Structure 1
Amino acid sequence: MAQLSEASSIPVATIKLYLREGLLSPGARTSPNQAQYGLSHLRRLKLIQVLVKLGRLSLAAAGEVLDAIDSDLPLIETFGIAQRAATRVVDRASIHDEDLGRIDALIEDWHVHPDGCGRYDAAAALTAFRESGLKATDDWYRRYADAALAVAEADLDLVDAQEGRSAKAETVVVGTVLGDAVFAGLRRAAQEHVSYTRYAQDGTGSPPAPTS
C-alpha cells in the first residue's frame, strides 16, 4: 500500500478510507499484513480522485457512479446516474413556471425526461437570472441552447471513440463530472478573447496584462 500511495500521490489513510467504503477493491493478500496492488488499483484510485476531489462528489455518490461503471447497465442509464450525481440539488418550488416553460420551449425537440435534473437546473438558473434584474433576448437563450447541444455532441463523440463498454462508461462519467469545469474554463477564456477584440482601446493587438 505504501508503494501504491507513492505511485498515486494519495495518502495511505485516504486509500484505506476508499477501501473501507468499497470504492477500491482489496489487493491480493500475500501475507497477514501485506497485499499486492496492481495497475488496475492505480487507475481506479485516479478515477476516484476525479470524482471526489475534482467533481466534489460525496463518497456515497462516487460509489454509486463506480458501481454503474462496473455494471452491465446500458450506457444511457450510466449517463443518468453520473448526471444525477454531478448535478446540484435545486429547490424546484422556487422555480418560476415562466422559466421552466422557457426551458421547455428551448428543448422541445430534445429527448429529455420531464423529471430530468438538467431541465430543472437550467430553469432554476433562469429564475435566479431574472430575479437579479437582468434581461436577455430570445436570441441569447437560443444560442446558449445551440452551444449546449454542440458540446453534448462532442461529449458523445468522445464516448463513441472508446473501445469496450468499460472504457465508454468511464468516459461517460469523467466527461459528465469534469466536462462542466472544462467548458466553464474555456468560456471564461473565450469571454476574455471576445471582450478584448470588441472593446480593447490600446490598439496594440496584444492582450491586456492581468489585473492584480
Structure 2
Amino acid sequence: MRIAELGRRTGVPVPTIKYYLREGLLPPGERTSPNQARYGEEHVRRLRLVRAMVDVGGLSIAAVGEVFAALADQDQEERGLVRALSTVEVAVTPVPEHEDAEAAAQARAFLERQGWRSDEDEPALRALVGVLGTAREVGHDRFWELLDGYARLCGPLAEADLDYATDGPGGWLEREEALERVVVGTVLGDAALAAVRRLARKQAARRRFGNPRADCGTEGSAEGGSEGPAADGATAERP
C-alpha cells in the first residue's frame, strides 16, 4: 500500500507518518521508485502500536524511540524480554529530581518486608520514594501503610503481566509478538489498571455508603430503578 492508504488504514495523517519514519519509529517501506515506497501490514501494526504508546500511554516521541531502539537490540528471548521490560519501565516512569531521606527509608523498609530486591537507581523505586515524599509534604505521614496491601494485590498482577507477554507460564510467543506484548502490557496495562481501580473504588463506595440520590449523571438515574418508587419520585419533584 502507498503511504496515503497507510494513513487511511490507521487514521494517522501522512505528515505524522513521515515524521515517524524520519525518527525511526517505523521501518522504511519497500522502495518502488526514488520518491515512492510500498508499506505492508507490519507498518500498520507498528503504527498502531506507536499511537497507543503516545495517545494512551502518554509516552513522548523520544521515549518511544528509546523503547524501539532497545527492542531492536535484543538477542535472546528470556534476556530480551527482561531488558525490554526494564527499558519500557524506564521510559514510562517519571523520576523525581530530589529525594526525601525519610521517604527513601520507608521505601527500603517496604522492600525488606516484601523480600524484594531492587537497585537504588531503579526508576520504579525512585518513583515510589517520590510518592512517599509527596505524601509526607501534604501531611499524610501514614500513607506508607497502604504499601503492603498494594503489594499483596500486585503480586498476582505481575504474574498475569508475564503470562500475557509469554503466552503462559511455560510457553513462548514469537520474539516480535512477545516484545510487543511487553510494551503493550506495560504501557496500556498501567492505564487499564488505573481505570479498573477507579471503577472498583466507586463500586466499593456504593456498597459501603449506599447509592445516594445525588449520584451524578444518567448512571445514577439508571441505577435508581432498584431504589424503588420513592427514590424516583423524590428525584422527579426536584426543580
Alignment of 1:128-147 (within 5 A): 128-136=134-142, 140-147=146-153
2:44 to 11, 34, 42: 42
1:195 aligns with 2:202: no
Distance in 2 between the 1:199 and 1:40 partners? 50
1:171 to 178, 181, 204: 181
Distance in 2 between the 1:150 and 1:121 partners? 21
1:22 to 21, 24, 30: 24
* Structure 1 runs not aligned, ≥5 long: none
Q: 2:24 is paired with a residue of what secondary structure?
A: coil
% identity of equivalent residues: 38
1:103 aligns with 2:107: yes
Alignment of 1:1-212 (within 5 A): 1-73=3-75, 74=79, 75-91=81-97, 93=98, 95-108=99-112, 109-136=115-142, 140-161=146-167, 163-200=173-210, 208-210=215-217
Displacement after TM superposition at 1:33 (Å): 2.9
Distance in 2 between the 1:103 and 1:171 partners? 29
Displacement after TM superposition at 1:201 (Å): 5.8
Q: 2:58 is paired with a residue of what secondary structure?
A: coil
Contact 2:132 2:143 (8 Å CA) reproduced: no
The one-letter amino acid of 2:190's match is D
TM-score by length of 2: 0.79
Q: 1:107 is paired with a residue of what secondary structure?
A: helix
| Greater RCO (Cα-Cα under 8 Å, separation 6 or more) | 1
Displacement after TM superposition at 1:55 (Å): 1.9
Contact 2:106 2:144 (8 Å CA) reproduced: no
The one-letter amino acid of 2:62's match is A
1:26-54 C-alpha deviation (Å, 9 max, x unpaired): 21111233211100010110111122222
Contact 1:70 1:166 (8 Å CA) reproduced: no
Distance 1:52 1:166, change over 3 A: same
Contact 1:7 1:42 (8 Å CA) reproduced: yes
Q: 1:30 is paired with a residue of what secondary structure?
A: strand
Displacement after TM superposition at 1:137 (Å): 6.7
Matched residue, 2:226: none
Contact 1:106 1:145 (8 Å CA) reproduced: no
Distance in 2 between the 1:115 and 1:126 partners? 16
4+ runs deviating over 6 angstroms: none
Bigger Cα displacement from structure 2, 139-148 vs 43-52: 139-148
Distance in 1 between the 2:147 and 2:26 partners? 43
Displacement after TM superposition at 1:138 (Å): 6.5
The one-letter amino acid of 1:99's match is A
Q: Across the two proteins, how many residue pairs are aligned to each other?
A: 207
TM-score by length of 1: 0.88
Contact 2:10 2:48 (8 Å CA) reproduced: yes
Distance in 2 between the 1:36 and 1:45 partners? 15
